[in-house]
Amino acid sequence: MTWHFEKDAPYWHQAAPLEQDNEGALPEKTDVLIVGAGFTGLSCALELARLGRDVLVVDAKEPGHGASTRNGGMVGWGHRSGFDVLSKQYGAEAARAIMMEGPASLAFVVDLIKREGIECALENTGRFLAAASPKHFERLKKDVETVFRPFGVNCRIIDAKDQGNEIATDAYCGGILYEDHYAMHPGLFHKGLLAAARNAGARVEGHAAVTALDRPDRSWRVNTARGPVEAREVVYAANGYAASFSKALKPFADSLMPLPSFIIGTERLGTNRVRALMPGGRMYVDTRSSYSYYRPSPDGERILWGGRASLLPLKEEQATDRLRRHMTGIFPSLADTKIETSWTGHIAYTRDGIAHAGQLGGIWYAGGYCGSGTAMAPYLGWQIAQKIAGTAKAVSPFDVTRLRRWPPQNLFPLGRRAVELWHRYKDRRDGVLAPVDYR
Ligand SMILES: Cc1cc2nc3c(=O)[nH]c(=O)nc-3n(C[C@H](O)[C@H](O)[C@H](O)COP(=O)(O)OP(=O)(O)OC[C@H]3O[C@@H](n4cnc5c(N)ncnc54)[C@H](O)[C@@H]3O)c2cc1C
């Protein structure tokens, strides 16, 4: 299956273009070689360099080519699964500790951005999770009492009658406002993190795909597109851009289902018009099965609208059209609005709905952020750095989690089609006011 297309580069690349000029020889040796220069890899590199390690980060394409500069820039506390699901698998105590990693990751990334002085339009906007049907609203209200409040999540139920303060649409039935969530410009965050890692002494190189590795003695011999490198430790941070260059990593690779996520950006609408549609100025997500996530651009002039246009490969025009229909289903007044940019990126889902980090066959790994990694990816990159350095912070609640395989990739198209049909049925069954238009 091939997913890759885009009308333009991601909107974020205008303010933070990816660097193209990575050439020349790589060092022959390094303490730690990190595969992937996204949030996970760079955060790991920054911490290790500060702890005095010699670090080389290599990316198959330009540093930042992956999801880290393609996402919606919504910063939250990122688990997909709730306490009930996790406690069935790992027991109540472990589940509680894993849940608390959500707020910890959010606090970590906000602190990282402030401490490093990264200018990336970080703003405590809050996030409005909109209920797409009365049934969903009742479920959200229950979640607030049973899932969120017990974990200290700062959130508020917004009734349908007050919803107009947050968003100008009749397509929702109230929702939850997460007051501690943030917005940022992911391109500028990535750029700042890259600079911080380099300033700390890490080397970051693009166009150096890792193609194979083995460990004949105490060091790894890593083959890259720009020559071999010897490394004492290797970290795998490729998330949805997973590449198979090591059998040892197979259990991790098999536990990730790469999926495309798409974003479109409108023409310049003007801050008044955007504000009239989104008076709360929040980050927005809804509860439809094929959910939408959207926001004003950091300058407040445009709307950036994201969603999973499809679980199956789509042509560029089809995906853009679908997302436009997702958008006009919520804001009919945007029917004639021009879409100026569209792009896609890969996320990676795990079966238990949480990220995983650990070591397999001597290779460190972190990933599986289930589309919610702007906080969790830097956080787990940092945790892996602590483990490599063997510091007191090297123990993590994620240590007890288990990798669960998805069915083989060649069954995916059939499975994905079935999931899409199930989503359509579920939205109808739940009385969703503005069902996703799948034409
Ligand atoms: C469209 C979209 C919207 C999203 N919106 C949000 C959001 O609003 N909020 C949120 O919290 N999360 C969001 N996410 C998820 C978030 O962006 C990711 O979870 C996070 O960026 C993952 O970071 P990473 O460093 O692990 O992986 P990536 O940033 O994907 O980096 C992986 C890198 O590994 C490299 N690589 C792969 N194979 C090799 C190899 N063999 N050798 C060398 N390098 C290799 C790739 O080139 C890539 O650059 C979104 C994702 C997408 C795609």
pLDDT digits (tens, 9 = 90+) for 34-86: 999 999 999 999 999 999 999 999 999 999 999 999 999 999 977 777 788 88
Task: Please give the model's pTM, rounded to 2 decimal places.
Answer: 0.95
Residue-level pLDDT at 8: 63
C-beta separation of 165 from 321 below 8 A: no
How high does pLDDT run on average in the chain?
92
Transcribe 148-166 into DSSP letters: IGGGT--EEEE-GGGGGGT
67: nearest Cα among 319, 245, 238: 238
Instruction: Locate 168 and state its tokens.
Output: 């100008």
Q: What is the mean pLDDT of residues 273-285?
A: 98
Q: How many CB atoms lie within 10 A of CB 369?
A: 30
Give residue 114 CA to ligand 1 midpoint distance, Å. 22
User: Is 2 a residue whose pLDDT tops 60?
Assistant: no
Under the banding of pLDDT at 50, 70 and 90, the label for residue 313 is low
- Pairing, β 220-224 against β 227-236: antiparallel
Q: Is 86 helix (H, G, I), strand (E, B) or coil?
A: helix
Instruction: Tell me how far the alpha carbon of residue 139 lies from the centroid of ligand 1, in angstroms.
Output: 31
Ligand 1 atom nearest to CA at 42: 25
Q: pLDDT band at residue 411, thresholds of 50, 70 and 90?
A: low
| Position 121, amino acid | A
CA pair distance 367, 141, nearest whole angstrom:
30
3-state secondary structure of 138: helix
82-120: b or e for each residue (b if 16 or more CB lie within 10 Å)? bbeebbebbeeebbbbbbebbbbbbebbbebbeebebeb
CA of 41 to the centre of ligand 1 (A): 10
How far apart CA 131 and CA 286 sit, in angstroms, is: 6
The pLDDT of residue 418 is 81
Q: What percentage of residues in the chain have a pLDDT greater than 70?
A: 96
Whole-number percent of the chain with pLDDT over 90 = 75
Amino acid, single-letter form, for residue 376: M
How far away, in angstroms, is 188 Cα from ligand 1 center?
15
**Closest ligand 1 atom to Cα of 186:** 17
| 68, 207, 211, best to mutate for ligand 1 pocket (most atoms within 8 Å of CB) | 68
Query: What DSSP character marks residue 406?
Result: P
- CA 436 to the chain's CA centroid: 22
Q: How far apart are CA 329 and CA 396, in angstroms?
A: 42
Domains of the chain: 8-122+184-258+345-406 (3.50.50.60)
- CB-defined site of ligand 1, < 6 Å: 35-41, 58-61, 65-68, 70-74, 78, 209-210, 237-241, 243, 245, 261, 263, 293, 306, 345-347, 367, 369, 371-374, 377
Structure tokens at 195: 């600079």
pLDDT: which is higher, 344 or 418: 344
> What ranges in 305-375 are assigned the alpha helix state H?
316-330
In which band, very low, low, confident or very high, does the pLDDT at 412 lie, cut at 50, 70 and 90?
low
- Kindly report, residue by residue over 230-239, the tens digit of the pLDDT: 999 999 999 9
Q: How far apart are CA 418 and CA 47, in angstroms?
A: 43
For residue 60, the CA-to-ligand 1 centroid distance in Å is 13
